[in-house]
Amino acid sequence: MLAPNSNMTMVGLPEEPFEVTAFQLMLGQMSLSGSGVGGNKETEEMLAFCGKHNITSTVEVIAIQQVNEAYERLVRQ
């Protein structure tokens, strides 16, 4: 199903299991990746739910040099 040197990214979970062997991937130099994040519909539903229940996020932008310090703060919380 995939062309050589290609990638298949699955978004969400398939309804039924499927089988892929390492040999199939390696022979065609293919890769398989996935994300638990849904599509537009699921994202819109999640944002509507958050808006209805006043759920917000906290975002902190840091320089890459501060990543270890930020990680330690996160672990301590």
Nearest to 32, CA basis, from 44, 41, 47, 19: 19
Mean pLDDT in residue range 18-31: 87
Over residues 27-41, the pLDDT tens digits come to: 889 898 887 776 788
Q: Residue 9: its pLDDT value, please?
A: 82
Over residues 32-76, the pLDDT tens digits come to: 888 777 678 888 888 899 999 999 988 889 999 999 999 999 899
**What is the model's pTM?**
0.39
Q: Residue 18: its pLDDT value, please?
A: 83
Q: What is the mean pLDDT of the chain?
A: 86
Instruction: DSSP for the chain, please give it.
Output: -PPTT-EEEEES--SS-----HHHHHHTT-EEEEES---HHHHHHHHHHHHHTT---------GGGHHHHHHHHHH-
The first and second tokens of residue 23, run together, are 């040999």
